[in-house]
Chains A and B, each alone.
Chain A
């Protein structure tokens, strides 16, 4: 706990602090630029892009060694990975446009094939004399602990640029994500916007490779956006909430992993994000599971209450135990099903409103008003007091409910 708190306030040493800040920055960039990928229903493109970086890393290493340089130069490796990832993106975009294969097949093909090529090239690198200790495999799962100041700078500059581009292009990208045909009709170049959106994802993938590895960077792109979607209905807000969730899981994950041995940073960050996701899935307002269960229960109560009262008004016996229990709880019926005075009054009101609705349907042929009759909306919410008074005039004077 002590160690966790120290790490939380960046007191656990230079390296831990660096990793925590770097992870938070990366989380923010990945969360916000992954948003439109998710809204465009292309979340798994990020998986293909991430796998397509592997051949590039190996090729860049070989090229740099061939020119006599140090094969492990990070900027060079990242440039190489960006190149093949971009090629992968173009293929993903080209296959569904040019052939009858669906996009998911294109994604799967690029993912599997580029990973295969990457593995082949890695085995070539391993046989090179310079490649034995290249440690290129660390790009698979990332190596956070070995983060240098230089890496943090790359992440913060690249990440800020990606977030800035996302913010700048938020309007066209929203338009394309929700209605691409309309966007095309408005004169936007949908294909170019799609490529830009996926290019941003590519940029984040490339800068995140060293930190969390190519498999788990996918999680950083997808999970925060999906989680953020639970909390808002506005695309502009999803960007920032997703960024916030990504940053929080990056920071907390890095802190947690620094505070105890045997906790690899990349997976902990992902599990942190997954924790946020599960929490949101159940407890988010409106879209969460809990809130929809509550909504459903409330609806059930209203329906049972109304049906029970209508039965009372018509003097039918109530046989549904749940309805009976509900009305008894409100003191509207006695446990044996006989209505109390309050129950009779409520029943009379419901019966009267039913008849008011009948009149309303005769007067207003407008479905926009009477269409709102669902048996649960009070008539006072739809019509004004004057109108209701007019219905009552047509209804005639109150008649006593039989048996009362």
Chain B
């Protein structure tokens, strides 16, 4: 737990934790609103977004790509809504149509243009490369107070930390509104809360979280973070406040455990190489959700809709 840890493991773990929390916070509300799969849709359309952003700007800088991804996410959300209304189609199918078509478009543009010379391949976008985000300048724990070394922290860490704080801030500011509108949209409207705008804002926030987490942990793994920690938290408690804290805790736990297992787990089993950390984080969150489904204190339905388990 010395210099090597700070240099190679500290930043990936922190990035993993921030990504997980940034996705889990909006995930709580998405789960309760039965919109969990919007995270799935968003993480698929991130790919065309960054490719188009690259084509327009011609650089692989992070900011334009993040903007492109966020733009694509918003376009996707609007398209889904439009198809739902115009075609009178259920939300799941509308999502399926939009994100697969946009993903296909992304792959097509990728093949059409010579983006292969930049490191922008599909698998990278899907899987992420958490392990490579190391802190070269660090020489030990004292680097944490060394401004020269701190200036060389990976950009991804700063970005995801800012986004995570931003999302936590939004959750706090809109707490009452979110809570009311999530459980009783009609009541929220009667109180004068702009419920529709709030719903759209929630989805856009989720998109921002997905996009920021995407360049660190990969686009598909983001879905696991949107769904698993909040879903497990939902089975632990009946109070929304507690559920949020549980989801933050479980997200952090998945990130830390997942990273450690990916880095050191294979060594324990006599393997030579580490496995994908992002994938392992998703897997650990799945195990946590599985345990919650089996043993969570509030796992079964109560009141209306309850089905007795034979």
Residue of B35, B95, B223 with most partner-chain A CB within 10 A: B223
Q: Mark A89-100, 1 if CB is under 8 A from B, else 0.
A: 000000101111
The answer to the question of B6 belonging to the interface, with a C-beta cut-off of 8 Å to chain A, is: no
Residue pair A263, B108 in contact (C-beta under 8 Å):
yes
Q: Which residue from chain B places its CB closest to the CB of A51 in the assembled complex?
A: B220
User: Which residues of A have CB within 8 Å of B218?
Assistant: 119
Residue in B90, B104, B235, B262 whose CB lies within 8 Å of A266: B104
Tell me if B283 and A117 are in contact (CB < 8 A). Answer: yes
Contact assessment for A262 and B112 in the assembled complex, using a CB-CB cutoff below 8 Å = yes
Is B189 interfacial (CB 8 A cutoff)?
Answer: no
Given known pairs A104-B36, A140-B126, the reply for A115 and B88 (CB within 8 Å) is no
CA distance A140 to B125 in the complex (A): 12
Contacts of B63 in A (CB 8 A): none
Q: Which stretch in B49-57, B170-178, B190-198, B273-281 binds the other chain? A: B273-281
B111 touches A264 (CB 8 A): yes
Task: Check if A294 is an interface residue, CB within 8 A of chain B.
Answer: no
Asked whether B226 lies within 8 Å of A215 as measured between CB atoms, the reply is no
Number of interface residues of A (CB under 8 A): 62
A299 to B93, CA, bound (A): 30
CB-CB < 8 A to A38: which residues of B?
Answer: 93
The residues of B that contact A105 with a CB separation of less than 8 Å are 31, 34, 36, 227, 231
- Is A281's CB under 8 angstroms from B293's CB? no
Q: Are A223 and B101 in contact (CB under 8 A)?
A: yes
Q: Is the CB of B299 within 8 A of A274?
A: no
Smallest CB separation, B246 vs chain A (Å):
14
The B interface, classified by DSSP as helix, strand, loop or mixed, is helix
Task: Say yes or no: is A137 at the interface (Cβ < 8 Å to chain B).
Answer: yes
Does A71 sit within 8 A of B, measured CB to CB?
A: no
Complex: A297 Cα to B271 Cα, angstroms? 70
- Specify the main secondary structure of chain A where it touches its partner: helix
Give the chain B neighbours of A264 by CB distance below 8 A. Answer: 107-108, 111
Interchain CA distance A264-B122 in the complex, whole Å: 13
A223 — which chain B residues lie within 8 A by C-beta? Answer: 96-97, 100-101
The yes or no answer to A332 lying at the interface (CB within 8 A) is: no
Q: Which of B88, B107, B122 contacts A287 (CB 8 A)?
A: B88
* Residue ID in chain A nearest B220 by CB atoms: A115
Would B31 and A100 count as touching, CB distance under 8 A?
Answer: no
A222 touches B100 (CB 8 A): yes
B282 contacts chain A at the CB level, 8 A cutoff: yes
> Cβ of B108 and Cβ of A98 under 8 Å apart?
no
Chain A residues with Cβ under 8 A from B39's Cβ? 108
Partner of A112, one of B34, B100, B225, B302: B225
B150 at the interface (CB under 8 A from A): no
Contact across chains for A267 and B283 when beta carbons are under 8 A apart: no
B92 touches A43 (CB 8 A): yes
B40 on interface, CB distance cutoff 8 Å: yes
How many Å lie between the Cα of A118 and that of B126 in the bound state?
Answer: 12
Q: Does A268 contact B (CB under 8 A)?
A: yes
Interface mask (A43-61 → B, CB under 8 Å = 1, otherwise 0): 1101100010000000000
Given contacts A43-B96, A105-B36, A222-B100, contact A95 B293 (CB under 8 A): yes
**8 Å CB contact of A113 from B94, B266, B283:** B283
A interface footprint on B239-274 (CB within 8 Å = 1, 0 otherwise): 000000000000000000000001000100001111
Find the A residue at minimum CB distance from B296: A99
Closest to A218 in B: B100
A74 interfacial contact with B, CB 8 Å: no
A98 near B103 with CB under 8 A, answer: no
A112 in contact with B223 (CB, 8 Å):
yes
The answer on a CB contact under 8 Å between A274 and B97 is yes
A272 CB, min distance to chain B CBs, angstroms: 9
How far does the Cβ of A261 sit from chain B's closest Cβ, in whole Å? 9
9-residue interface stretch from A121-129, A160-168, A191-199, A334-342: A121-129
Residues in B neighbouring A111, C-beta threshold 8 A: 40, 220, 223-224
Given contacts A127-B272, A271-B108, 5 further A-B contacts (CB under 8 A): A44-B92, A123-B279, A230-B87, A268-B104, A274-B104
Which B positions have Cβ atoms within 8 angstroms of A? 31, 34-37, 39-40, 44, 83, 86-90, 92-97, 100-101, 103-105, 107-108, 111-112, 122-123, 126-127, 218, 220-228, 231, 234-235, 262, 266, 271-276, 278-283, 285-286, 289, 293, 296, 298-302, 307, 309
- 15 inter-chain pairs at a CB distance below 8 angstroms, sorted by A residue, are A38-B93, A41-B92, A100-B300, A105-B31, A107-B40, A108-B223, A113-B224, A116-B286, A120-B275, A121-B275, A122-B276, A216-B107, A219-B100, A226-B87, A230-B87
- Which chain A residues have a beta carbon within 8 Å of chain B's beta carbons? 38, 41-44, 46-47, 51, 95, 97-102, 104-105, 107-109, 111-124, 127, 137, 140-141, 215-216, 218-219, 222-223, 225-226, 229-230, 262-264, 266-268, 270-271, 273-274, 277, 281, 287, 289
- The 3 A-B pairs at the shortest CB distance, nearest first, are namely A116-B282, A112-B224, A113-B286
